[in-house]
Structures are given as C-alpha cells and as structure tokens.
Amino acid sequence: MQRLATAIEVEVRFLITHATRRQLQKLIPAAALERRRLLQYSDTYYDTVGHSLMLSDNWLRKREREWQLKHAIAGFKSQEHSSGTYQYRETVGQSEILEHLKTTFPDVFGRRELSIDQMVTDGTLVSMAEFSTDRESYAYDDGEGEVRIDLDRASFGYAVGEVEVMVQSEEEIAAARARVRAIASRLAGEDCKGPPPTGKLSVFIARNHPALYEQLVERGVMKPRLQEAE
C-alpha cells in the first residue's frame, strides 16, 4: 500500500483466532495469498518529557529510518473504542512532520530550527516505547480499493490483527470504517466475543508506563480496559 506524504489511515483491530487463517483463505484471492509478505520492523515512539504529544493524540515514531506521525483529524474522534475502529491522518517525512508540530505545539516546537533527530539528541524528545514486530501482511482489492490485512506479533509477546485502508478525504472515512469492520468481523470468526482488542502501543504503555496510561484513559485517548490477544 503506497504511502503519500499525508493521507488518512482507517483501521480496525481483531483478535487472531484459530479461524483467522481459514477465513483468510476464503476472503483473499489466491494470487494475493501467494503475494504474502513476511516482515520484521522496529518502532521507537517519542514524546516530550511532559507527554504533550501523546496526551493530545499525536503519535510520533521512527520506523526503522523513517519518521512517521499519526494525529487526530479535526472534527473526528480518532478512536471509536466500542467498534475498535481508528482513523488518523498519517504524515511521513521530517519537514511535513515538523510543520505540524510547530503549528500544533508552538510553545514547544514553534521556535526550534532543529531536525527531529537533533531534538532527540538534545532531549526535547524522549523515547517512550521501543519494540519490534513480526508481520504477516496481505494486500488485495476488494472492489472498492486496496485493503491491507496484517497479522502482528510484537517482541513483548502481544499478537493482534489489523485491517487497514487509506483514503484521501474526510468524506471517505465513514465508508472506509464500514469496509474494515466487515472484513475484520469475518477474519475474527464467530468464536470471537467481547470488546475489540487493544493495539500494540496501548498494551506496551499500559504495561510499562501505567501512570501515563491512566492519563490517556482519562482523556479518552486510550480505551479504559484491555483485551489482549496472547
């Protein structure tokens, strides 16, 4: 799935069950199954010392060598905890990310002329989470555009599935939400009960930064209870 400098990511997470692979065989065309990709990548998430970014629903990470930022879309709730659906504007590249940070957090970044890497070096940005992920990834066209399905296992032992589509405008979000929810429901299987699972970063923060996690829950940025897929 091609990444533009700025696009909107709509995704839903699902539990990986014994039925998931059987459902994959039914859902995805044979050619797409053959194009399965096995990946391993490392993520490091950064924030200010006072957690200005995360508490404002901004997620800055370095995936391998690339800087990426996910941030809330004006007029939309980023995370619909009841359905497990998430939508963020995703920005890649230092210059585009810095422009957003300076505009959104002028007191912290407005007068800084440093690169993101330099702000890590001088302590303006600090590492909050670091882990690697083994990913089994599939991409196919469902008739409405490209869909990506990822089966992830993080280095700290947490596994979760994700269905993702990328759109270019806010007007496309509602239809994209319906698409990913329908696909995830089929993949999870009928034996999947309870609330949707939590994302990898949420689990990492809950386990390693419980005080910050509670603040994020109070602000509605993260869900108040975890369903973890082991």
Burial of 39 (0-12, 13-18, 19+ CB in 10 A): exposed
* pLDDT tier, 230 (very low <50, low <70, confident <90, very high otherwise): very low
d(CA 18, CA 198): 19
Q: How many residues does the chain have?
A: 230
Name the helix (H) or strand (E) containing 147. Answer: strand 146-154
pLDDT tens digits along 4-49? 457 899 999 998 888 888 899 999 999 999 999 999 999 999 999 9
The 3-state DSSP class for residue 109 equals helix
d(CA 66, CA 179): 29
d(CA 83, CA 73): 18
Asked if pLDDT for residue 52 goes beyond 70, the answer is: yes
CA angle 52, 167, 82 (to 5 degrees): 60
Asked if pLDDT for residue 79 goes beyond 70, the answer is: no
Q: Which residues of 119-149 are buried (b: 16+ CB within 10 A; e: fewer)?
A: bbeeebbeebbebebebbbbbbeeeeeebbb
d(CA 213, CA 100): 24
* pLDDT tier, 2 (very low <50, low <70, confident <90, very high otherwise): very low
Backbone angles phi, psi at 118, to 5 degrees: -70, -35
pLDDT tens digits along 92-128? 999 999 999 999 999 999 888 899 999 999 999 999 9
Cα distance from N-terminal residue to C-terminal residue, the chain: 27
Regarding pTM above 0.75, the answer is yes
pLDDT tens digits along 180-215? 999 998 887 665 566 778 899 999 999 999 999 999
**In the numeric block, which tokens belong to residue 14?**
């699902």
Count other Cβ atoms within 10 Å, centred on residue 189.
Answer: 16
